[in-house]
Amino acid sequence: MMEKDHKKKAEPLVSVLLPTHSRRNSLPTALSSVVRQNYSNLEIFVIRDGGEDVSDIINSFNDPRIVFIDRPENRGKAFSLNQALLRAKGKYIAYLDDDDLYYPHHIETLVDTLEDRYDCQVAYSDLYRTYCRIGPDDEREVLSKVLDISRDFDRFFTLCFNHTLHVSLMHTREILEKTGTFNEELNVLVDWDLTRRLAFFTDFHHVHEITGEFYHPVGDSDRISVLYRKDRDEYLKNFLTIRTTRPPKPWPKIKDMSIIFTMDGQNEQVQDALVSIWQHTFYPYQIYLPLEQSEFGKLNVKIPNIVTVPVESQASNEQTIDRALAKCEGDVIAIVPAAFPIRNFWVEDSLYALINSSVNKEAFELEDSTDELWAVVLNKGDLEYARKNFPHLPLRQSLKAAGIIIRRVLAEEIPFQYDQLLEQARAAGKDGNWLKAARTFGYIAEHYQNKLWIKGLAAKAFFKAGLHTQAAQLVHQVNQQQPTVDNLLLEAKLNRQKDCKSAIEPLEKAEQMLDFSFSQTCQNDPVFKEKI
Amino acid sequence: MDITQNNTEQPSGHGVPAEPRQENTTQRYEVLQELGDCHTSVGNYDQAQRCYEKAASVGPDEPGPYVGLGVVALQKNLLDDARIAFRVACRLDPDCSKAYAGMAMVAQQNGDYKSAFDMYLKSLELDTDNLTSLLGLFQTSCRMGSFVQVTHYLEAYLDMHPGDTSVMFSLAALYMKDGRAEQSQKILLDILTLDPTNQDVANLLEEVEHKLAQRESTE
């Protein structure tokens, strides 16, 4: 009892940010799920981002923890969140959209994690994707709840792909001093932009627990972010803005990459190459572009993160590199000729190997590198050492003379091994080769992370391959620890083959899970009752 | 410069998903339908009915819940309700073997063996694996004394499920009625290998062997 009281007193304040825009139907459910958290030390910012008046809904909760920012004009999600952040006093910040839902233990789970993990300033949990059908009266009918991703933190993956929704995420307020707040120029992928910046400064801790749901309508979506995505031009502009955002330094968790461009006198290729790098590079970079003074005004590109380096017209390739190197801010340097082919992962494969290499003095040739178009990535210190000690040698020879081992990346050194195996398993299933899929999932479960989630996928694959004993063992194991609707349904199907009675329990549990949001979170709310 | 002129995409490959996963929207329907079937199997007909009714509202185009409701009504001896439910299932999916089997059972219970026979046949045309229809067809055949079509379906079923002793026994009985005592004897001996204590089989085998002995002596 004493211990519990002590814990209660020590509960740090959490600021929950809930922007809303014309969703009177779903807002009560979302807000109710925050108000009914097991964790009580909250300040709950509901920010009306224009649209319908929702003050009656807010007032009906009669909860002093709710701070209502009632703004009639629509200024966008990023602006709304920033408005709340300006007033937030919590040690931690959590987010909820007005059509999503926390489970009662969501805040408590993430706070406990962050309080225990001093090395992480961000924690995130798993969420169900809740497929809903919208009825004629705008009511939602939950059709399925699927855990379609449960992925441990991988900095490279976060830089490349948006897989951590903000509904599942909590971070310290303090870290925003380093990352900055939300980018109000963006109207889509606003969350990913901040998540990506967070990854420059801290590790994230993944809690393998389902603590909420995000809404996914069947058919045409009314989600604002989805509507924006339909405007492809706008989406791409946002996407590229995010990928080229460089928060203020120092970056304790990211090695900055400087790309030194060598041009071989063919300036017309430069523009295309720069655009191509912009399109295909997800790792943070700056391009150092050696140019003669007379060429400065001629370059017609508005690409961010380009640093021009003035060079003389007669400068050799090595002199150009040395001049650029003197200006480089990066911890790692890629040296790339202008005509080098640029595609997805063109530099990141070798870069990943370099960053994770435990060997000193190693340089990695890029995969598409040839003798004519030779490109390499290496640590800045190694390059500086080689150039300082062997300035008269051509680049490659100077590296060798400095004792730097130049090699190609091996297959097992490239990033996203886990994701590649996952895709292979899924592709095998798609082709009907369920046994291969099951074995691949089994291999992933043994060698990588997210074991429970992967074991569930393996069980499903074994079932489809007709290997019911293996499927039954696996799915039972998973459901003992973290039951999901899918896995309970599978266990019931397998039990039913022997005895229908034993299938009833998992099915009833699955039905309860599907009914959860309505039966437990909302039914006692005055607003919800009135709506019914 | 207009960046949208260029082919800028979220990078795919290396395990990064290129497209969203396929929508999975059938869980609630599946849970309710399975739960209905399980409750039916253990005799909880009221709970089964509740599940099937909910499943029908979640999946209004699915015949399954109506087949379930028909089965529950049959168990409660509400033949009119059962017929209506099976008809709805048939309307939703004209190729629903189970719906025809259900309608056949209703007809059989009403003593309309001709209709029952036709609908069992239709059900088996749609799914030769439907054991309910196969055994129903056998029963109605016995009532009507017409065995030719039944034999074909029983043989087809046994090709798929060679060890099903209940169907083997039915087929042995039909061969016997058809005067094909050797074939009947072979099947009965096979059943006894699988199930040596089956007294019905032993009795029929005795009858068959008696007939064979009689035939031999007259020849």
A343 → chain B, closest CA residue = B11
Residue at token pair 């001896």: B77
Best of A504, A512, A517, A518 to disrupt the B interface by mutation (most B CBs within 10 Å)?
A: A504
Chain B nearest C-alpha distance from A141 (Å)? 8
Is there a contact between A420 and B15 if contact means CB atoms under 8 Å apart? yes
- How far CA A345 is from CA of A414, A454, A517, B81, in Å, comes to 10, 26, 41, 63
B7, B31, B41: residue with CB nearest A500: B41
Q: Please report residues of B whose CB lies closer than 8 A to that of A496.
A: 34, 37-38
- What contacts B78, CB < 8 A, 6 or more positions away? none
Instruction: Say which of A145, A148, A501 has its CB closest to residue B21.
Output: A148
List CB contacts (< 8 A) between B29 and chain A: 143
Chain B residues whose CB is inside 8 A of the A144 CB are: 24-28
**Going from the N-terminus, what domains does chain B have, and what CATH number goes with each?**
26-94 (1.25.40.10)
Q: Does B21 touch chain A (CB under 8 A)?
A: yes
**Chain A with chain B: Cβ pairs closer than 8 A:** 122
DSSP for A375-400, written as a single string: -EEEEHHHHHHHHHH-TTS-HHHHHH
Residue A301 in contact with residue A277, Cβ under 8 Å? no
Q: Is A3 within 8 Å of A25 (Cβ atoms)? A: no
Nearest by CB to residue A489, choosing from B9, B30, B58, is B30
Contacts of A382 (CB under 8 A, 6+ apart): A361, A363, A399, A402, A404
CATH fold of A13-243, please?
Answer: Spore Coat Polysaccharide Biosynthesis Protein SpsA; Chain A (3.90.550)
Query: CB neighbours (10 Å) of residue A59?
Result: 12
- Structure token pair of residue A60: 């009906």
Is B25 or B48 the better-scoring residue by pLDDT?
B48
Could you tell me where the beta strands, DSSP code E, fall in chain B? none
Q: Decide if B4 and A237 are in contact by the 8 Å CB cutoff.
A: yes
Torsional sign, CA A308, A309, A313, A318: negative
How far apart are alpha carbons A171 and A114 in whole angstroms? 8
A90: closest CA of chain B, how far (Å): 35
pLDDT along chain A (532 residues), means of 10: 50 97 93 96 98 96 97 96 98 96 96 93 96 83 91 93 91 98 94 97 95 86 58 86 95 97 72 89 95 76 87 88 95 94 94 94 96 95 97 95 97 92 94 96 90 94 96 96 95 94 96 75 48 37
**pLDDT of res. B189:** 94
What are the Cα distances from residue A338, in Å, to A262, A283, A290?
6, 19, 11
Provide Rg for chain B, Cα atoms: 25
> Lowest-confidence range among A258-262, A421-425, B5-9, B50-54?
B5-9
Contact B4 A142 (CB under 8 A): no
Please determine, looking at this structure, whether the domain spanning A417-522 carries the CATH number 1.25.40.10. yes
CA distance B141 to chain A (A): 31
A274 CB near a chain B CB, below 8 Å?
no
- B97-109 and B64-75 helices cross at what angle (nearest 10)? 20
- Please name the residues between 237 and 266 in chain A that touch chain B, using a CB distance below 8 Å: 237, 239-240
Q: What is the CATH number of domain A257-413?
A: 3.90.550.10
What pLDDT is stored for residue B8 in this prediction?
41
Residues 396-425 of A with CB under 8 A from B: 414-423
Interface check for B20 against chain A (CB to CB < 8 A): the answer is no
Strands A376-379 and A332-337: antiparallel
Measured between beta carbons, the chain B residues lying within 8 angstroms of A485 are 27, 31
Q: What are the residue boundaries of the structural domains of chain A, listed by start?
A: 13-243, 257-413, 417-522
**The residue type at B97:** S
Q: How far apart are CA A146 and CA A107, in angstroms?
A: 21
Say yes or no: ipTM exceeds 0.95: no
What average pLDDT does the segment B105-134 reach? 92
Per-residue pLDDT at B19: 55
- The alpha carbon dihedral of A378, A383, A386, A392 has a sign of positive
Residue A48 pairs in a beta bridge with A20, A70
First-last CA distance in chain B = 102
> Between these two residues, B31 and B13, which has the higher pLDDT value?
B31
Going by pLDDT thresholds of 50, 70 and 90, the confidence category of residue B150 is confident
What is the distance in angstroms between the Cα of B16 and the nearest Cα belonging to chain A?
7
Per-residue model confidence (pLDDT) at position A2: 42
* pLDDT of the residue at B46: 97
- Phi, psi (degrees; rounded to nearest 5) at A42: -125, 150
Nearest Cα to Cα of residue A16 among A96, A121, A113, A71: A96
Q: Which residue has the tokens 């050492």?
A: A385
- Chain B residue with CA closest to A274: the answer is B3
The answer to which of A413-422, A430-439, B16-25, B152-161 has the lowest mean pLDDT is B16-25
Q: Provide the whole-model pTM.
A: 0.86
Identical fold for domains A13-243 and A257-413, yes or no, is: yes
